[in-house]
């Protein structure tokens, strides 16, 4: 096999970037989130066939597909569709669990395309909501891998605020369980996004606005199209409201909680020839937040001659920025499908304290400037061999340059931590971290028979920052098509999960000795790579053409379990490790789609436990560390029961009504032991109605009215206690939102 054209393509991609995984098989569109617990890949519809088709051949997955006899007669739309199918062949899901949410499903949510990305993913089973937009999948803290059109985008620093806009999504698949060898680094789940394209949508666009409760204003616009060999899609929106971060009190109106956010995304592709496509995508996010205040708190320290400070008057703020850009060369070379991409992601965060207030309440006021620039190279290949095998292989490389600069004001203190002077002084600390991640994988998909498929492979990972860590990870998954309507899958994966470089801080803690910011336990300041064994078993059952039922069971045995916590005033997460971890759970899902009615229901059980904190001990009290050393405790994000669901009814082509809900048995808080108590359960019900008006002079106007938390139930996501838990946070109160939009 000659690789010269691939090398040329890689050179072009490198040149383009310096000058300035892969997606799952295309899901079948559905009107409600569709669980495909079986990982038998549904092959994409043959969109390459037309009147010029004259011969049959096999695609990169070994499946029979029609291909045109004369490729030069294909139009640009058909060529793009053929290349999309080639890219799909790069990504198996054998042995893992997947849940597909389409653009149509997102439109059916109460807020439609204005729904934040985390709220979209919450519609999948096993996903637990947390404050600041955080998500927990199957008992993990964050650790999500985001892929856009097969390209992995490194995580951002932000502990809250969404950097991806659902308006870009054609479909999003949540992959979890025993993942194939091509998936690594972030292993809790893969959020695999396929974006909208101008070649699919034609030429046009959409403009609109969402407004409503809590001062919400959200204008948005998208436009797309194709011309000859070019295809493009662009979208952008602006959001402002008075509830940027969860309210720390049960009141309806938070104090000091204004936010404004700007998001934009663009994707441009060019057909070099019928087998090769060059694509460039980029995204930008700028978010500004006021940190809400919790009134009635008592200062712990004096400042000069000031002895009292109203906590309702604090003025703490946080800004976040994320930028990413990737250029990809993708196509087919003979029977080999490939995608090679290079890119960068820059993420930054600035925390601005209220100097006097933070000093008086916390004994430290630190202005934090944190950033990380990640440069990436990713290459994925797929080729058929023999008559029933598909070989997939590839590599991933990431180089991170992370920094943290902190200008702190502190008070002098004695050895017991008691303030000895009311006059603060400054300490400046600065960290610089260079980290290198390299990975390679090789896997084979073996279609043993019409009913059995085996996917097995090996992945090698190496992470180097303060130390070098590496691992060879075997993966194996099997799918059994027991009947035409019953599919069983099982898998095992060995995982190697490096810490998030952007969250590591190795500052010299000793400089804070004899101050009100001194730590009691120094310990090991650098987090370790997590290693785990993951077992997954599931079944999917179709009942007639309308019902799909899924059941999945998983167990994860963990060494050096990674967790994250907010240990300071700034809303920044820090990584630490438990020596041991164990996670287990079950997921149940039902989907119904019949005519004007679509519905879905998910219910999950999960237990996530950890024992013995072995890194970043300075964040913990001595008694807390001593207890966790000898006892298993619930992780702070452990939620025993989680459920989501919804139903939509199309009264006619122009009018639709719907409802959805979220239920949780509560995250953890401290009791007699760390994380020893579950918070009260919560239930949030949302309602919506939409109608398309058709005006003679204006055309069609889409309108949607949403009622969020219709019952106005007050519920607490966080109480302010627990391992790594900051201030209290409450869920949203009742809000009414109106959306107006028009296609053009």
CA separation for the pair 681, 679 (Å, rounded)? 6
Residue 725: the pLDDT is 75
Q: What pLDDT, on the 0 to 100 scale, is given for residue 630? A: 96
Average pLDDT over residues 348-365: 94
Q: Where are the beta strands (DSSP E) in 614-744?
A: 633-634, 641-650, 655-664, 668-669, 677-678, 682-695, 699-708, 716-718, 729-730, 735-743
pLDDT at position 158 is 72
Residue, of 620 and 14, whose pLDDT is higher: 620
Beta partners for 425? Answer: 410
Whether 390 shows a pLDDT value over 90: the answer reads yes
Query: pLDDT at residue 417 above 90?
Result: no
Question: Domains in the chain and their CATH numbers?
Answer: 4-743 (2.40.170.20)
Q: Contact at 8 Å (CB) between 166 and 120?
A: yes
Q: Tell me which residue has tokens 């916590």.
A: 565
Q: Which residue has the tokens 């496509």?
A: 277
Structure tokens at 445: 């998909």
Tell me the pLDDT tens digit for each residue of 561-593.
999 877 666 666 778 899 999 999 999 999 999
> Containing H/E element for 267?
strand 259-273
CA distance 128 to 681: 13
Answering whether pTM is above 0.95, one says no
User: What does the pLDDT look like over 281-340, one tens digit per residue?
Assistant: 999 999 999 999 999 999 999 999 898 999 999 999 999 999 999 999 999 999 999 999
Q: Tens of pLDDT along 503-535? A: 666 667 788 889 998 887 777 778 899 999 999
| pLDDT tens string 462-519 | 999 988 999 999 999 999 999 999 999 999 999 999 988 876 666 677 888 899 988 8
Q: Who's near 416: CB < 8 A, 6+ residues apart? A: none
Among 341-345, 467-471, 614-618, name the one with the lowest average pLDDT.
614-618
Q: What is the per-residue pLDDT for 500? A: 84
410 CB-contact burial (10 Å; exposed 0-12 / middle 13-18 / buried 19+): buried
Question: Which range among 13-17, 713-717, 733-737 shows the weakest confidence by mean pLDDT?
Answer: 13-17
Closest by CA to 510, choosing from 498, 526, 501, 523, is 523
What number of CA atoms fall less than 13 Å from residue 365's CA on the CB side? 21
| pLDDT tens digits along 96-154 | 788 999 999 999 999 999 999 999 999 999 999 998 888 999 999 888 999 999 999 98
């Amino acid at each position: 096999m000659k690789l010269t054209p691939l090398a040329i393509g890689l050179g072009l991609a490198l040149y383009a970037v310096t000058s300035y995984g892969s997606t799952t098989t295309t899901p079948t569109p559905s009107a409600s989130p569709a669980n495909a617990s079986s990982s038998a890949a549904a092959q994409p519809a043959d969109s390459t066939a037309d009147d010029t088709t004259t011969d049959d051949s096999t695609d990169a997955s070994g499946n029979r597909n029609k291909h045109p006899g004369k490729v030069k007669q294909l139009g640009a739309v058909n060529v793009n569709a053929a290349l999309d199918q080639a890219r799909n062949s790069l990504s198996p899901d054998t042995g893992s669990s997947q849940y597909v949410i389409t653009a149509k499903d997102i439109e059916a949510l109460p807020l439609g395309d204005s729904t934040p990305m985390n709220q979209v993913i919450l519609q999948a089973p096993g996903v637990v909501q947390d404050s600041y937009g955080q998500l927990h999948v199957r008992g993990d803290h964050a650790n999500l891998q985001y892929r856009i059109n097969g390209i992995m985008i490194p995580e951002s620093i932000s502990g809250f605020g969404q950097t991806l806009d659902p308006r870009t999504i054609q479909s999003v698949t949540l992959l979890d369980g025993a993942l194939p060898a091509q998936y690594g680094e972030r292993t809790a789940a893969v959020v695999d996004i396929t974006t909208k394209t101008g070649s699919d949508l034609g030429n046009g666009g959409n403009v609109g606005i969402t407004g409503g409760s809590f001062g919400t204003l959200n204008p948005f616009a998208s436009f797309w199209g194709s011309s000859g060999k070019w295809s493009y899609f662009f979208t952008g929106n602006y959001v402002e409201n008075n509830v940027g971060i969860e309210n720390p009190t049960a009141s309806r109106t938070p104090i000091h909680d204004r936010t404004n956010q700007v998001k934009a995304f663009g994707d441009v592709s060019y057909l070099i020839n019928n087998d090769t496509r060059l694509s460039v995508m980029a995204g930008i996010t700028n978010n500004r937040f006021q940190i809400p205040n919790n009134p009635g708190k008592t200062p712990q320290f004096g400042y000069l001659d000031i002895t009292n400070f109203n906590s309702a008057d604090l003025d703490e703020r946080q800004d976040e920025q994320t930028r990413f850009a990737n250029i990809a060369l993708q196509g087919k070379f003979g029977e080999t499908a490939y995608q090679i991409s290079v890119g960068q992601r820059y993420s930054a965060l600035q925390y601005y304290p209220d100097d006097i207030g933070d000093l008086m309440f916390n004994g430290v006021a630190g202005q934090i400037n944190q950033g990380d620039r990640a440069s990436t190279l990713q290459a994925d290949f797929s080729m058929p061999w023999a008559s029933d095998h598909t070989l997939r292989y590839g590599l991933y490389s990431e180089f991170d340059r992370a920094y943290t600069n902190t200008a702190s004001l502190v008070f002098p203190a004695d050895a017991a931590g008691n303030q000895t002077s009311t006059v603060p002084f400054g300490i400046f600390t600065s960290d610089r971290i260079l980290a290198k991640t390299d990975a390679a994988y090789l896997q084979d998909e073996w279609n043993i028979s019409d009913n059995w498929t085996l996917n097995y492979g090996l992945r090698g990972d190496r992470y180097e920052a303060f130390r070098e860590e590496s691992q060879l990870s075997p993966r194996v998954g099997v799918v059994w098509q027991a009947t035409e309507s019953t599919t069983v899958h099982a898998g095992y994966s060995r995982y190697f999960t490096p810490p998030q470089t952007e969250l590591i801080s190795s500052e010299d803690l000793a400089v804070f000795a004899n101050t009100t910011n001194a730590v009691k336990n120094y310990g090991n300041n650098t987090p370790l790579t997590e290693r785990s064994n993951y077992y997954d078993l599931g079944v999917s059952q179709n009942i007639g053409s309308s019902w799909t039922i899924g059941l999945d069971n998983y167990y994860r045995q963990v060494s050096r379990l990674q967790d994250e916590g907010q240990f300071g005033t700034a809303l920044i997460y820090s990584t630490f490790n438990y020596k041991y971890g164990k996670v287990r759970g079950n997921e149940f899902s039902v989907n119904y789609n019949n005519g004007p009615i679509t519905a879905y229901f998910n219910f999950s059980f999960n237990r996530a436990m950890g024992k013995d904190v072995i890194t970043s001990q300075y964040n913990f009290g001595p008694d807390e560390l001593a207890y966790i050393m000898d006892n298993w405790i619930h992780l702070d994000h452990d939620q025993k029961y989680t459920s989501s669901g919804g139903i939509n009814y199309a009264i006619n082509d122009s009018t639709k009504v719907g409802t959805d809900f979220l239920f949780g048995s509560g995250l953890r808080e401290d009791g007699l032991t760390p994380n020893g108590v579950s918070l009260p359960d919560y239930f949030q019900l949302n309602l919506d109605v939409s109608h398309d008006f058709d005006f003679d002079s204006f055309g069609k106007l889409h309108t949607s009215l949403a009622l969020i938390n219709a019952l106005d139930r007050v519920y607490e996501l966080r109480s302010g206690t627990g391992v790594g838990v900051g201030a209290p946070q409450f869920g949203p109160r009742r809000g009414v939102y109106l959306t107006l939009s028009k296609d053009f």
